[in-house]
Structure 1
Amino acid sequence: MTEQQPSPLFEQTLSVVNIGIDLFAETLRQQSVDVVQVQWSPPATQNEDLMNLLDSLL
């Protein structure tokens, strides 16, 4: 069996874009990894009755 060389990808500096859980980004920062945190949440599903009720309140 021949020994495989590690991918050059693993020799580069790691930079991460984290979408969601802040704890994951913080854990990476503690390891000196560059992290950009994106605040995102899935869009709420629109319930037509609820939307009409909210519209009537405004």
Structure 2
Amino acid sequence: MKREKTACSCKNVNYGMILDAVKGGADTVEKIQAATGCGTGCGKCRDFITTMIRDILMFPEDYEE
């Protein structure tokens, strides 16, 4: 995973910021929104956030650095 890849262009949030938030306990879209602002602009990335949270929680070894 490229940490610097943009996940939310409205709020300038990258994959790494979402990963860090999930590792810090943000396990819902609402918690990611509160932690990063991701998904609070146009909302196009909300489905992606849901998928990314699920993948990080199900396959944490794939997201180890």
Indicate whether the TM-score tops 0.5: no
Q: Looking at secondary structure, tell me which structure has more helix per residue.
A: 2
Q: TM-score, normalised by structure 1?
A: 0.26
Q: TM-score, normalised by structure 2?
A: 0.24
Q: Looking at secondary structure, tell me which structure has more strand per residue.
A: 1
Of structures 1 and 2, the larger Rg is shown by: 1
